A = this chain, B = another copy of it.
């Protein structure tokens, strides 16, 4: 049985569900100490509980996505918000986006450096402006005017990310934060964190999706990846699915990863796991890898990745948080990339 047929609530209570990811990459037991694994599991669980609390109380899927992502942005463990990687110039340049499945309203920010929680800024763009995407200082001015918490850029300074940058500069390489195969000298704790994202279904049957990231270590030239691009890193449409992506951003943009997945479901009624796999196969064909979390308006969900592992979790109507990191343990069945039953 694949993940997509499980946990559908029947009866009087409409299903609520939240799926999250914290990045996909070369994540294996041999590279992660038990202490680090426990730390990740704890934050993922906190994120799930935060989002579930919103849904359980009758909150919207958008608010649940925000609640879940804020927890991961505020943790130094993930490459988003507090734990963001450094650009070549030693800055933390953050990107985020959010989309609402009922209205297909969307908001995004890119290359912001002083907004504590970029997902809140993306939400403000969606709800308080007539625009979808604001970037750089303009986005920061807007966030300030909207009363969002502005921090000194030093807030985003973490020692291990800084060291990660120095090593990347020394090797003249741009690193995907969870890419460690290519550089085994980097301490494992540094390389196994990624973009964060969430998709949620509220009791009103509305979907939402959101994604937040610090991008690539040692990135230059104002590089923007897929996370703030509606259609690439994030998409939500009640008529099909909500999707959040993580991986090699350039290939996810070129494949319009999130919309691509939604389009297959909407136009061909492709099962969601198959749609996600098709998208990941297209991305693999152009040299990329990563993962997708997908949720439909009935509560069917899937978490697919073509990397070693993906930080991820699911919580449904029963309120029991399920967290996974590696591939091998959670997939005893016939479907190795179906992350969780």
Contacts and interface: CB of A to CB of B under 8 A. Distances in A.
A314 to B, nearest CB: 26
B138 A221 contact: yes
A224 interface: yes
A133 B253 contact: yes
Contacts of A132: 249-250, 253-254
A266 to B, nearest CB: 9
A130 B174 CA distance: 10
A139 B222 CA distance: 6
Interface stretch (A33-41, A104-112, A320-328): A104-112
A223 B131 CA distance: 7
A286 B103 CA distance: 8
Contacts of A110: 135, 224
B230 A134 contact: no
Contact of A136 (B99, B135, B267): B135
Contacts of A250: 130-132
Contacts of A105: 254
A181 interface: no
Most chain-B Cβ atoms within 10 A of its Cβ — which of A224, A249, A250, A264?
Answer: A224
| Count of identical protomers in the assembly | 2
A193 B224 CA distance: 29
Contacts of A256: 230-231, 235, 256, 259
A141 interface: yes
B111 A221 contact: no
Contact of A223 (B134, B137, B225, B268): B134
Interface in A232-277: 232, 235, 249-250, 253-256, 259-260, 263-264, 267-268
Contacts of A172: none
A142 interface: yes
Residue of A131, A174, A222 ringed by the most chain B CB atoms within 10 A = A222
Given A133-B223, A134-B222, A134-B224, 14 more contacts: A103-B286, A104-B254, A104-B255, A105-B254, A106-B253, A110-B135, A131-B223, A134-B221, A229-B229, A229-B231, A230-B232, A230-B253, A231-B231, A259-B260
